[in-house]
Amino acid sequence: MGVREGEGERAEDCIEEPTESNYAQARAAPCWRDRALLDVFDESGRYLGDVAAPDHVGRVLHVDGNVVLTVAEDDTGTIMVKRYRLALPGEQDE
């Protein structure tokens, strides 16, 4: 699996020209958001397609096989590292 940035989308609630007084607010609500795409390959290296990461997934830190480590933030602002596993339809959860 590989990671690449998908098409960016413009946020409507951003601050175009931040000032010293609203810098923290502008940083918390950027004008552009990129979505991570995960390129998926089979065991022989054949490209199978891409999968869009869920909206709540932040920056992808590491990809190893079918496991992805990301930075995520919950509703209270707590930042955490989350682990996801790519599972094909019909696979049993481990």
Joined together, the tokens standing for residue 80 give 């955490």
Burial class of 42 by CB neighbour count within 10 A (0 to 12, 13 to 18, 19+): exposed
* pLDDT at 57 > cutoff 80: no
Confidence of residue 1 (pLDDT cuts 50, 70, 90): low
E strands, 1-78, in order: 2-5, 9-10, 32-33, 36-41, 47-52, 57-64, 67-73
The string of pLDDT tens digits covering residues 31-54 is 777 777 878 787 788 888 887 777
| Rounded Cα distance, 27 and 21, in Å | 12
